[in-house]
Amino acid sequence: MALDHPTGRIIDQGTPLVDFYKIATAANCYPGRLVIKDTTDNQIQACGAGGAALGWLGYEDANENFRPDTVDTIYEAGDFVPVLFGGHFTLVGSLAAGESVAAGAKLKAAANGELAAATVGTDYVVAIARETVDATSAAADILVSSLI
């Protein structure tokens, strides 16, 4: 059974720490996706598979001049955006297509800033699934507890 997701925001519970960065490459930079630093310290891009994510691309704290119309709309290159980190908060992320996880599953970075099932002791675990989600046919929203 899916949990209720917040409407018009990505943070469900808790108060993350927030830093602001400029988007270098906009590909896959949707709210709730994992991001890494680009070649310049103040710039970010979507995290790749197995990457050591810097944090989560935020939404609520974005300046209205840069915030997309909805949580399902991509940011643009050059936008100054909030990056959420610090753990101890729950948000809506994206489980990669081809994945199926149960509540309590440990998750790692997948391609495009999405999430995939992790192997504890091998992978860099970034979150814990708060709900069971089947994304075998298409990527799907998933409520997670952040560990980063």
Would you kindly state where each structural domain of the chain is located, as residue ranges?
16-85, 91-146
Give every CB contact of residue 93 below 8 A, 6+ residues apart in sequence.
Answer: 32, 33, 34, 56, 107, 114, 115, 127, 141, 142, 143, 144
3-state class (DSSP) for residue 66: coil
Q: Which residue has the tokens 């704290």?
A: 61
Structure tokens at 72: 């399902």
Q: Among 108, 83, 87, 84, which Cα is nearest to 96's?
A: 108
Give every CB contact of residue 78 below 8 A, 6+ residues apart in sequence.
Answer: 22, 23
13 has which bridge partners?
90
Residue 69, pLDDT above cutoff 60: yes
Residue 2, pLDDT above cutoff 60: no
Mean pLDDT of 47-71: 96
Residue 148, pLDDT above cutoff 70: yes
Residue 66, pLDDT above cutoff 50: yes
Question: Mean of the per-residue pLDDT values for the chain?
Answer: 96
3-state class (DSSP) for residue 145: strand
Residue 1, pLDDT above cutoff 60: no
Q: pLDDT tens digits, residue range 24-41?
A: 999 999 999 999 999 998
SS (H, E, C) 83-113: EEECCCCEEEEEECCCEEECCCCEEEECHHH
Residue 93, pLDDT above cutoff 90: yes
Structure tokens at 2: 């899916």
Query: Which one has a higher pLDDT value, 132 or 52?
Result: 132
DSSP character at residue 2: P
